[in-house]
Amino acid sequence: MNEPSRRPGPLSNLLLTQFLTVVNDNIFKQVVLLIAVSTAVRFQAYAALLFSVPFLLFAVLAGDCADRWSKSKVVYATKWAEVIIMLCASWALASGDPLALGVTLFAMGTQSAFLGPAKYGLLPELVSEAKLARANAKMQATVVAGIVIGTGAAGYLKTGLSEKLYLLGFLLAIIAGIGAFFAHRIGPTRPADPSRTLHWNPIQRFRIGMNRAGQIPGLRPAMLAHSVYWMGGSLLLLSWNELPQILDTSLGNWSAALGSLSLFLAAGALIAGRSLQTGIRPQQVRIGAFGMAIGFGAIAFLPLSPWLIWGSAAIASLFSGMYLVPLRTRVQALAPVDSRGATLGTSQMLDFLGISLASLLRPLLEQIAPGPLTAFLALGLIFLAAGLWFPSRLTRSSTTP
């Protein structure tokens, strides 16, 4: 099958769509997590799990949809679904009913699950392969900007709106509508495989996807290493929200501090994007993993100072960008053109298996040693293992241009 025509013009509209999506996701998810953490640590973990489960159920189906239909049209459709979900979120926030909030989180996760393979699959259709790493760095920068604004604003919005949280749903619906406008401006793209059969069995389809990835040198190790990053990121978020309970800082300031960490991730991503074409440099992945291991692991042993903890997390976040971009680029570049969506759907499901594992791991760590600091020690060990395990396998199974 011929390579789809490349359209560099719509890239900026895709980036704007991505930015607004991340803003909405992070504001709503963080507000719900903050509501949950005020009740009990385990409820926060369960809330995060509700957002993750749709990726396990629908990621591979979403990948097939991204191959069967135009990826730009799939992005556009998911943005209008987001508008409807955010309007429903107004009622859930007004009621404060945990079940309603949980259903809304599940719906948001479903929308994001269908958006993921389409938006990341669009990148190789909009830019040349030589520019793919830099485009991924730009995409990550928009993610960072959305996280900074969304996560940073969440604590203040929850406190400021107080008894009028239903207004937040209307605000997020407006933001989603603006995102739909930019998604429409991406323009049409050709379906990669219009005859693709939709697979409804996530377990069987995931197994097939992982087996096919194993037949392409370098692809499956990159997917696995990428999923470890998301498992660690989820554990970081859950643990970070608990730190104000033991630190002398306000909820709003600490939420903003979490968002600011993304600036360092963006810096690391841009460094990686400038130094890469499309191949993995295993040494860069190793440096990124070890940097995260030191930065996150050190938090478990630092004095309970907000500035010291933030500084150590900032260093880890810088190295996380160096770890993430080469892995994401490799997955996109190695995925077959006519099944890029399916490959990215499998990778996305693998990512959220990691995120779901973090949601289950956090309560377990709480039983072993109460408090969030144990989770940061676990983070350090996870990325230490990743730095020791994956680069050697990437070296044996992939080539570096």
Q: Are 333 and 120 in contact (CB under 8 A)?
A: no
Per the structure block, which two tokens stand in for 305?
A: 């100072």
> Helices (H) and strands (E) in the chain — how many of each?
13, 0
Whole-angstrom Cα distance, residue 133 to residue 141? 12
Place of tokens 């190789």: 124
Per the structure block, which two tokens stand in for 91?
A: 């009622």
Per the structure block, which two tokens stand in for 4?
A: 């789809």
What ranges do the domains of the chain cover? Answer: 11-397
Residues of the chain with pLDDT under 70: 1-9, 37-45, 48, 276-280, 395-401
pLDDT of residue 220: 92
Task: Tell which CATH classification among 3.40.395.10, 3.40.1130.10, 1.10.490.10, 1.20.1250.20 matches the domain 11-397.
Answer: 1.20.1250.20
The pTM is what?
0.79
Q: What is the pLDDT of residues 56-105, one digit of tens each?
A: 899 889 999 999 999 999 999 999 999 999 999 999 888 878 788 889 98
| Region class of 371: left (phi > 0), else alpha (psi between -120 and 50), else beta | left
pLDDT of residue 398: 46
115-134 burial, b at 16+ Cβ within 10 Å, e below that, comes to bbbbbbbbbbbbbeeebbbb
pLDDT of residue 401: 38
pLDDT of residue 140: 82
Per the structure block, which two tokens stand in for 54?
A: 């749709």
What kind and span of H or E run contains 376? Answer: helix 373-397
Count CB neighbours of 37 within 10 A. Answer: 20
pLDDT of residue 32: 82
Q: Are 135 and 11 in contact (CB under 8 A)?
A: yes
pLDDT of residue 77: 96
- The candidate with the shortest Cα–Cα distance to 166, out of 93, 84, 85, is 93
Place of tokens 């949280």: 165
Q: What is the DSSP string of 217-270?
A: TTHHHHHHHHHHHHHHHHHHHHHHTTGGGTSSS-HHHHHHHHHHHHHHHHHHHH
Per the structure block, which two tokens stand in for 45?
A: 């973990």
pLDDT of residue 382: 96
pLDDT of residue 1: 43
